[in-house]
Amino acid sequence: MSIDPEKLDRLAEVAVRTGVNLQPGQDLVITAPMAALELVRRIAIHAYKAGGGIVTPFFTDDEIILARYAHAPDESFDRAPNWLYEGMAAAFKGGAARMAITGDDPMLLAEQDPEKVARLSKATSIAAKPAMTPIVGFEVNWNIVAYPGATWAARVFPDLPIEEAQGRLMDAIYAASRLEGDDPVANWEAHSQALQERVDWLNAHNFSALHYTGPGTDLHLGLADGHIWKGGASPALNGVVCQPNIPTEEVFTCPHAYKVEGTVAATKPLAHQGSVIENITVRFEAGRIVEATATQGENVLKALLKTDDGASRIGEVALVPHSSPISRSGTLFYNTLFDENASCHIALGQCYADTIEGGSEFSPEELKQKGGNQSLIHVDWMMGSDAVDIDGITRTGKRIPVMRGGEWA
């Protein structure tokens, strides 16, 4: 078994037509691991068929990344190519769309110096801010899809030969991305409508907070002032309706960065910076994590929380039913794009400005006043299961069931 070229081509077509929804004459900036070259080529074909402008890919390579850790001087790990991200920012300002392809080895940096990994991650986040600001603010249409890279496939299916593992991972991506059947574009239209019904229900209730209860979890999570629930296809500020994540099962909004209290236990491992962090448990006071433990990777978790002032607060809360296709697959992908869509989750760090009414026009200080968090990081981790219940708390203090046993109530 190997990667089915027809499935790869259908993924590329849906990424262009439904994901980023590339417009005639619109340029496309792509970031991808070198391993995903074949998918990038197919995306370029469909982008030009759609009448797109210039397709410009930027690639990373595992061996070149590892060469830096093996041979670069120490000061290299406090630097990142500002010029690259400034160029991307200029492209987005000029109207380009953005597509990111994930699929590299999630454990690539597992054997590297964690201090260097953390330093380089911070330097890159700082340098990338000009390019990420229009993404976080949803100023342009963008999309993320996945390619079944060989090293990633070997992590997910370690007992299979590489070609068979890649084929299995391609099949899993295909199913999770709702590409089966005669018309995957129609699949996504129907799925987006179902997500929109959840969004409308949550926005109509305008809860002031959510209360989570489950094994190791008793969390009161306040929601930002003027928060807006979103999910599925949405219009960017440039007017283009796009599907940012393929796959996606979530509806999400902005928590209040200063109104989170209690404890929460992760229900799935978090793969971050080449490490797997197992059994995360944290305690919040006034929105900040004041205690954090993990049975594996605790040092990585604590370093992450020290990235900046906002890293120990949360910027996103998302609801996902336990019966989602990714959860039902029983596969741990070691990839946030997939694992976050198997479970309710929260994200440490930066909020999405467009999940606060008028937030895309706000200054950082105005976002903060509404409860939106500011940070160099945005790291999702999973805390939902079939044993977790969620209540919505109204402005008058009434409790309304939102989820029971991990399913919509």
Exposure string (b/e) for 116-142, b if CB count within 10 Å is 16 or more? Answer: bbbbbbbbbbebbebbbebbbbbbbbb
Provide the token pair at 320: 């996902």
Q: What is the dihedral of CA 164, 170, 176, 181, to 10 degrees?
A: -110
Pick from 34, 44, 35, 37: nearest CA to 12: 44
CA-CA-CA-CA torsion sign (367, 369, 374, 379):
negative
What mean pLDDT do residues 70-88 have? 97
pLDDT digits (tens, 9 = 90+) for 347-388: 999 999 999 999 988 998 999 999 999 999 999 999 999 999
Per-residue pLDDT tens digits for 28-77: 999 999 999 999 999 999 999 999 999 999 999 999 999 999 999 999 99
What is the residue-averaged pLDDT of the chain? 95
Check: CB of residue 110 under 8 Å from CB of residue 275: yes
Per-residue pLDDT reduced to its tens digit, 137-163 = 899 999 999 999 999 999 999 999 999
For residue 181, list its beta bridge partners.
Answer: none
pLDDT bin (cut points 50, 70, 90) of residue 394 is very high
Q: Is residue 100's pLDDT more than 90?
A: yes
- 371 vs 373: CA distance, rounded Å: 6
Task: For residue 153, give the 3-state DSSP assignment.
Answer: helix
DSSP state at residue 15: I
Residues facing residue 210 across a β-bridge: 221, 392
DSSP 245: B
What average pLDDT does range 113-117 have in this prediction?
A: 91
If you average pLDDT over residues 310-319, what whole number do you get?
A: 98
What does the alpha-carbon distance between residue 311 and residue 126 come to, in Å, rounded to a whole number? Answer: 13
Q: Classify strands 251-253 and 241-242 as parallel, antiparallel or unpaired.
A: unpaired
Q: Which of these, 349, 361, 359, 340, lies nearest to 129 by C-alpha position?
A: 349
- Under the banding of pLDDT at 50, 70 and 90, the label for residue 1 is low
Is residue 204 very low, low, confident or very high in pLDDT (cuts 50, 70, 90)? very high
Q: Stretch 277-293: mean pLDDT, rounded?
A: 97
Indicate if the pLDDT at residue 332 is higher than 70. Answer: yes
- What is the rounded distance in angstroms from the CA atom of residue 250 to the CA atom of residue 228? 14
What's the pLDDT score for residue 137? 87
Q: How far is CA 286 from CA 220, 305, 312, 332, 394, in A?
A: 10, 16, 11, 32, 20
The crossing angle, in degrees rounded to 10, of helices 82-93 and 114-136 is: 20
Distances (CA, A) of 67 to 31, 110, 117: 20, 14, 13
Determine the Cα–Cα distance for residues 277 and 265; give it in Å rounded to an integer.
Answer: 12
Q: Is pLDDT at 217 greater than 70 in this prediction?
A: yes
| 4 phi, psi to nearest 5 deg | -70, 115
CATH code, residues 5-176: 3.40.1830.10
- Hey, where are the domains in the chain? 5-176, 196-408
